[in-house]
Structure 1
């Protein structure tokens, strides 16, 4: 029989042991109704005992929750069972330190959020039974193990490296400290007789048009009878006998004329249903069914003149990675359903991304995440769950790690989108460069996991996929973050330098880099009800978790614009600054193909309303940076890049066909757009290649750097711009334009006719309608040009609201940083 999940509601939450600072009024109001899946925070929220943890400064008031012990209690019915039938209680995700009991009898203890736990409850009498799960404080257990084993370095306050729990649950430099407890995945009852399918591991390979399927099966048995396994895929059937008492078997199947699965930018996403049945005679005991795909994947780490490559090769095609990092989409992962995942992953694909990196400080995603990546054609790079800390390898944790990794590999290997396993996030680099060595001397610190345990598990269970020990990691004998080898993380730019310094290096693949910007206005307004919006207000700063994050933002703003005083200007220019940083970094790295084989931007999404590195905020609104990412990740790209101290034209072709790009290059005046020099060139770019064309002095050497720009236009690519000075040094004209707004089917259209240069013209539609989205943003419009921006919404309002100066913005719509010398006199914009 299939497993039956226990009801979502009908549970009760009570306080088992209070922390010293537990509010008396809340303690007195318990117990309250509860849910599974769920967590203490969301159950207290539903009961009206706490406010939304992600709003305002509520987070800081809820630390007591993680220091309490809690009890979840529910009931389940048991029917009379025939002789020999097994009954198991299946807990798919207990967060984290738990004692599970039925009718007061303890079934077992757990201490790993990332594992499924099964408890044998065979023999329960027919009728209703009481299930209690006592959750003990995770931080308390971590502290206990730290004291027992000895301290190890960790990047944050809590010793999360001593417990197998979502690391970012304890706070990160983009997320809140909300230490959770509860059953974050379903709980079920599983009845079975004779035997069940304990593990099914399909390995799919393909040569030419012929697919091969190898299926390794493990059984749990309640008896020793001989059994039979039958597998079906694409109309092919194979069967094998399982001898009496055997608990392992293998099936092999050849499938002719298969259609391969491809990432969305290279081909189709063909999948096949694979079914495995376990039979006792003609009786079906258990069934396993998944959609699978045929594709070949390998990791090219061969040496060349520049070091060693890090290139993903799918179906014998090198893939230029256009990736984004994925963090948990909510502090409480059970709140993220399939529809929300689809929207978020579609936002990634629509921005041009072809890869999602599931980052190692969170959780292994649910099956919906990977199934949607299969469907949408998004490659998945999956970290094992180790991040920014030294991890003990003593038996108290090593056994949990082995069980967790084995379960994860077994569960995820059917998904063709999964193409890469990575051992850890930044830990090998940290051991070398973050001052960890004194604290780990003579101790295990995780390297045995990354170089031995995890690769052994992958090699044994999932040998069709490559494994790499860490990101960053450069291979044995190299500095872990050497840009000439392996993967590289570039964080000195955000932490210490201006984003123009992305151009200082050309890594083989950039696994992390990024620049911060605020959430959209509507998201911040909703998140800070009743609070003043000011760049340094305590409420806003509470949603900035990066160390010295506001100072780093201000440093970059000062360098480019000057630091604005008011919130509106600060919010817009900080958003523009993030977008500029992302576009500059990605276009630089892409222009150096094939040496650089990809970028994985930090980060796609947010788990709460924050000032962070995300391009989509926690309320699913696209920040201006999302539009910059879409431009930078376009399959065909025209860009202007520095070469030998002057701008050069680079054309990048990520498609499978040659591209003949006819590019018009003009050097123009800023004030009136007058053409000072002009050339038309044709650049032929090979499939999946890049071509560089130096420019002559008439284009690349301005007579007045503060008053000129270079424009590169091609019919089938986004226009590229090169400004010869920073914004604060440019002699921008005061923005002059006419604008109209009108209702159209599905929303509104705003048309802008530029009389002067308009740099980074953006319609901040969420200031008028929080549900609205725009089709484009950050448009630089030359004098005499017109652009139309389409706004999608079901709401109805006065279209002229979209023309308000706080809504329709460009960089040169007012003086920058108080530096009036940089502005040319001119009349204000007009609307009509």
Structure 2
């Protein structure tokens, strides 16, 4: 048995067991000729060139470098010593010549005589971006979409023996003869006509990423040889559960392509969870999807994180025709996902994700691509990302349209971790050339490919057409004039989903206000991006009044981890004077013509601290404390409003490259930023939130678990310089809900010297706590923090202070999995955390004014 036959047999053993058969795979080792590995890399800048034509001879000289396929040109140039690592210094600016260059990939391939007379296709998993493909010097096809593969038949171009393959690639359209599409954003985007380019938008440069246009053969390369006129593609199953959760329905779908002229009879068999089925089909000429429907009674269900187990099932599919058999394997989960948009009694509509008939509050963040060069994102980095998300108590990711259709690794890990995923189609902050028929057909092919690739994943909950484009085109005062690319997101993409994934919810844009004809960011219906705070409004307390039904994007800028800051900036004493600081800074954070930098203004207005006076470590602390407070306000506000609000999803979880300031709680090197722990506390499954509604101070008990929680609540007011008044009560937090569990009444004492608090204990152990400060932090009547007491014993560190201490910082490096950090101390109330480390905890900074 060949290695490939062994792989097929081991991965599809379930169907053998169910059917009692041992079919013979249809293909042998010669079905595919692997083209991965080393290729020669040529280039042309328009005047000078090396190996820059379809068919080479001895006059072309040596290649510029060796290219690795799959791979990316920048990585090949780095390996050859011709380019520096893009994350360092000004390398991204010095690398612009790469996307101004025409690149040529070359390699020879030997076709053995036994394949003579068979039909042959050339396949590239990804060509980024503008490609012309040649076989033996003759044109084989063109392609300009990094989001779907390239395949072309080369039977007439290839021959027995040695053949030469060449691919010309450009990172972008050179001198594109298309009309400019206004983006409302950056001049560079308009100059290069970004909306025409089907590649990740963030590579053109975003506020949180540097411009770094990738180019290369980014997917597997191979020659595929047909044994017959029937080609078996991917298994693309769909799984769902009926309304009473008693019956699972699997549409075991498989792609079949008849490359001949006559119909071909075939039998499809499938098996999952002990159930098998078959269908006899007639495959018409052309490509299509054919299926077997399986019914599974009382299936084990898949649940989101914290709601139940993430049960997954192996699905095996085989196709038999003309005495041949091919198999495909997949993994599915049985779950039912709906979006409750029923009328809200206060006006508008709810927006609640309901999984298996249970409402789920979506806690999490948008994710950015994990690297400026996606090709070097490996599974280990995704595993670390998901680990940190689970540590943060996430249940939800939004994959923003600025980035990628996320990878198979990402979705497989989300399936296993129980993290729900919202996936944007890759359109963002522009309007697109919808009048161009070729562009529309390319988008349809792209969407079909990606929907089929991802639809089997139980973690995938929501599809969305694009990010913020409609919002950019309409203001609250705008009328209902038709948008120039309306039909892409309201007609074309929905038609693809109706055919390929009809059961999942689809929103044409985010933010989106369904049922309205004008402003897409209406707080009371659909999804919202509450950027009215953090972009220009520095007062983070205003989050407390935001009634957004489903906050899908918003945030506060803050610093990255201290080691990353130190790597970037040259002058650690005056970091903002460093060219590295400004190169790696978020461009929204940079000062405008008439205003200071937004995070600097926020730090001054909220905390009373001037960033110009801070060295790099001090900035990491104070900027991190500000972001911690802002993200805490964001998350706590929406969680306490449940079910009126259905999500607290912020921008963003991670960085694509090393930054000085960003929106994230995990930096490029996957270190925790100073803001990480505030988000983790705010998203804990069981929480309390102190809030003022009108003139009354209340304590909300927030419980995201499927069981009621009962505990002892201590609540009241303390003074900044010492204890105050407190009460206790036994309270029950209902399952999967938020409810007022105690009322403090009107504020007690002077707000500038008093703080409202609540602490929930179960079985004597602290479970959650919250505090409310009414004035700005700089306006509070602070007592000096002094030296809080730290006692270490039996693997537990206990901290205590006689006065209120803000933001006790134990670590700014972000590598250690501390149980807590950047936490407060309340007067006379000990606070304990596990401490499994050999060294004793050391308080590095506190947020009380420095004496």
Q: TM-score, normalised by structure 1?
A: 0.88
- In structure 2, the partner of 1:826 is none
Q: Deviations over 1:438-465 (max 9, x none)?
A: xx999x6321111101111101111121
* Residue 375 of structure 1 pairs with residue 422 of structure 2: no
Whether contact under 8 Å (1:544, 1:612) holds in the other structure is yes
Superposed CA offset, 1:392-451 (max 9, x none): 1111311111110011111111111111111111111111139999xx999x63211111
Secondary structure class of the residue paired with 2:143: strand
Higher mean C-alpha displacement, 298-307 vs 635-644: 298-307
Q: Higher mean Cα deviation, 781-790 or 164-173?
A: 781-790
- Find the partner of 1:579 among 593, 609, 628: 628
| Matching residue of 1:10 | 38
Provide the C-alpha distance between the structure 2 equivalents of 1:786 and 1:12, rounded to a whole number of angstroms. Answer: 65
Corresponding residue for residue 41 of structure 1: 74
Alignment of 1:513-532 (within 5 A): 513-528=554-569
Q: Secondary structure at the match of 1:494?
A: coil
Determine which of 659, 665, 672 is the counterpart of 2:715.
665
Counterpart selection for 1:396 from 438, 444, 457: 438
Select which of 182, 186, 200 maps to 2:216.
Answer: 182
Does residue 487 of structure 1 match 2:522?
Answer: no
Residue 510 to residue 20, structure 1, CA distance change in 2 (3 Å): farther
Deviation per CA, 1:615-654: give whole Å up to 9, x if none.
1000100112221111111111101112113432111121
Q: 1:79 aligns with which of 106, 112, 130?
A: 112
Q: Report the equivalent of 1:299.
A: 339
1:104 is matched with: 137
Q: 1:51 to 1:641 in 2, by over 3 A?
A: same
Does residue 425 of structure 1 match 2:471?
A: no
1:622 alignment counterpart: 672
Contact 1:112 1:164 survives alignment (8 Å): yes
Q: How does 1:812-831 map to 2 (within 5 A)?
A: 812=848, 814-815=849-850
Q: Which residue of 2 aligns with 1:820?
A: none
| Counterpart position of 2:502 | 463
Distance 1:791 1:10, change over 3 A: farther
**1:777 maps to what in 2?**
821
| TM-score under structure 2 length normalisation | 0.86
Aligned pair 1:59/2:92, yes or no?
Answer: yes
Return the alpha-carbon distance in structure 2 between the equivalents of residues 367 and 582 of structure 1. 30
Aligned residues: 786
Select the residue among 232, 241, 244 that pairs with 1:197: 232
Could you say if the C-alpha distance between residues 739 and 504 of structure 1 is closer, same or farther in structure 2, counting changes exceeding 3 Å?
Answer: closer
In the TM superposition, residue 742 of structure 1 has moved relative to its aligned partner by 8.7
Structure 1 distance, partners of 2:719, 2:295, is 66
Quickly say closer, same or farther: Cα 1:742–1:528, change in 2 above 3 A.
Answer: farther
Please say if residues 340 and 353 of structure 2, whose CA atoms lie closer than 8 Å, have aligned partners that are also in contact. Answer: yes
Question: Quick check: 1:773–1:791 contact (8 Å CA) kept in 2?
Answer: no
Relative distance call for 1:358 and 1:75 in structure 2 (3 A) is farther
1:560 correspondence with 2:586: no
Aligned counterpart for 1:219 among listed residues 253, 256, 262: 256
CA pair 355-76 structure 1, distance change in 2 beyond 3 A: farther
Per-residue deviation, residues 686-712 of structure 1 (Å, max 9, x unmatched): 222211256345xx5243333322221
- Partners of 2:61 and 2:178 in 1: how far apart? 32
Matched with 1:242 is: 281
**Greater mean alpha carbon deviation, residues 322-331 or residues 783-792:** 783-792
Q: Tell me, what secondary structure is at the counterpart of 1:343?
A: helix
Q: Which residue of 1 aligns with 2:428?
A: 387
Give the secondary-structure state (helix, strand or coil) at the position aligned to 2:178: helix
Deviation at 1:85, TM superposition (A): 3.7
Is this contact kept in 2: 1:384–1:423, CA < 8 A? yes
Superposed displacement of residue 292, structure 1: 0.7
SS in 1 for 2:809: strand
Tell me, yes or no, if structure 1 residue 637 matches structure 2 residue 690: no
Deviation at 1:145, TM superposition (A): 2.0
Aligned-residue offset at 1:66: 1.1
How has the CA–CA distance of structure 1 residues 190 and 29 changed in structure 2, closer, same or farther, with 3 Å as cutoff? closer
Contact 2:695 2:747 in 1 (8 A): no
Per-residue CA deviation, residues 703-759 of structure 1 (Å, 9 max, x unaligned), is 333332222111143211123432222232322336679999xxx986645354332
Question: Who is 2:811 aligned against?
Answer: 764
Counterpart of 1:827 in structure 2 is none
Q: How does 1:587-736 map to 2 (within 5 A)?
A: 587-610=636-659, 611-671=661-721, 673-674=722-723, 676-693=724-741, 695-697=743-745, 700-716=746-762, 717-736=767-786
Instruction: Supply the RMSD in Å over aligned alpha carbons.
Output: 3.0
Deviations 1:449-500 (A, max 9, x none): 1110111110111112111111101014342110011001111211121211
What 5-or-longer segments of structure 1 have no aligned partner? Answer: 816-822, 824-832
**8 Å contact kept, 2:128–2:170:** no
> Is the CA contact (8 Å cut-off) linking 2:697 and 2:744 kept in structure 1?
no
Query: Quick one: distance in 2 between partners of 1:765 and 1:482?
Result: 38
**d(CA) in 2 for partners of 1:622, 1:19:** 47
CA contact (8 A) 2:92 2:211 kept: yes
SS in 2 for 1:737: coil
Given that 2:561 and 2:667 are in contact with CA atoms closer than 8 Å, whether structure 1 keeps it comes out as yes
Paired residue for 2:15? none
Q: Name 1:327's counterpart in structure 2.
A: 368
